[in-house]
Structure 1
Amino acid sequence: MGRKRSILSQCDGDYQHNKIMEMLVVKFLHQTLTDVIIPTFDIRLLQPISFSTLKAKRNASKVSWLSDNCIGTSAAPYYLPPYYFEMHASTGTKKFNLVDGVAANIPTDGLKYTEASTDNSMKDNRENLEKIGKDLMKKPVSAVNSETGLYEPMEERGTYEDALCELAQRLSEERRFRHKYM
C-alpha cells in the first residue's frame, strides 16, 4: 500500500486496512447478510456520508467495496489519516475523503432517520419518521465549524422550525415580488 503517515495522525493505517480486508468475507456492500448503514464524514465536502445496503441493492452506482466503507468509517482523526477512495460507475467517478467521529459521534442519531425513511411503508415506520421530524424541528440549527470539523449549534439562528418558517416567509415574499412585476 505504501501510505505515508500524515503529520496529523499517529499511525499510517496500513495494519488496520490490511486486517479489515483480510477479515471481510463479504467483498461488496450489497452482499451483506443483513441490511447495514455505515455512517462516515467526507472532510473535503464537509458533509456526512452514509453507505447502505439498500442503496447499493437499488442503484448500481452505489455499489462499493465493503472494506472501503469500513476503513472510511473507522479513520479516527488524529489517530489515522483520512481514507481516500473512488467509486467508478457508468455515471462517472465519485471521490471520497473519509474520516469518522466528526459528524456522527453518536452514529445512531443519523441512523434513526435513515432507517425510518426506507421504502417500508408500515405504520410504525411512518410514525417513527414523523416523530424524528418533529424532534429535529425543535433542535437548534447547526453547522460545521471549519476549524474543528464538528457540528455546532448556531444559537442566533434559533431552531430548525424557526429557520423553516423564515425560509417560507422569504419564499412567499419573493413570489409576491415576482408576480407584482411580471
Structure 2
Amino acid sequence: MRATPALAADPASPVWRIENLTGADVLADTSPWVKAYEEVYAHALHLPDHREPTFAQRLAFSARRDGFRLTSCHADGVLAGFAYGYTLPVGTGWWNGFSPLPGVDSDEVTAERPGRTFAMCEGLVTEPFRGGGVVERAFPLLVQGRPEERVAGLVAETNAHALDLVLRNGWTHVGDVEPHPGWRRHHALLMPLR
C-alpha cells in the first residue's frame, strides 16, 4: 500500500510523501534506514540496546517476518522519519521477562494467538523534523488496514520524550521488559487497533 504525495498547504510548506514499504522493498537497500537511525541515536550508539544486535541486523530480521511494514515519511524528498513492525508470532520472545504494572493481567497481555499483535519495533524522527507532526502523519498509515487487534511497542525507560509522545497518542503503559540481555529496561506499551 502506497500513499499519494500530500499537497502543500502553501508554497512555504513542505510536500510530504508518506508510504508503506514491504520487507522486500527495505531489504533491497537498508542504507537510508540505517543511516537515519545512526544519526538520530549517535549519542547512544555505545549502549548495548543500539549495538547488540545492531540496528541493521534487527531491521533485516524484522523485514523477513510475516506482516512486516515500514512507513516512511519524507518532506520535500528528505527522510523525516520512519516506523516499522511486523505481526508477532505465537511463541514470540517479545514478552519474555515481562513485569506487569499493578492491576495488569500478565497472562492477558502476553498471550499471543495468530494475528493478535502488530509489534512496532522502531519509530524515529530526524532532528530537523521533530515537533513537526511526523508521528501524526505517519503512524496512521503504519497501522491502517492492519488485521491485528492491537499494536505493541517498547520505549527505553530513559526516553521520557518518546514515552510522553506515545502516551499522548493513545498508548497504555502495561509493564516493563528487557528486550535483549544487557539492554536497558523498556516500558511495554499497547494500543488497540479495533
Question: TM range, normalised to the smaller chain?
Answer: under 0.3
Higher relative contact order (CA 8 A, sep 6+): 2
Q: Name the structure with the higher helix share.
A: 1
Q: TM-score, normalised by structure 2?
A: 0.26
Q: TM-score, normalised by structure 1?
A: 0.27
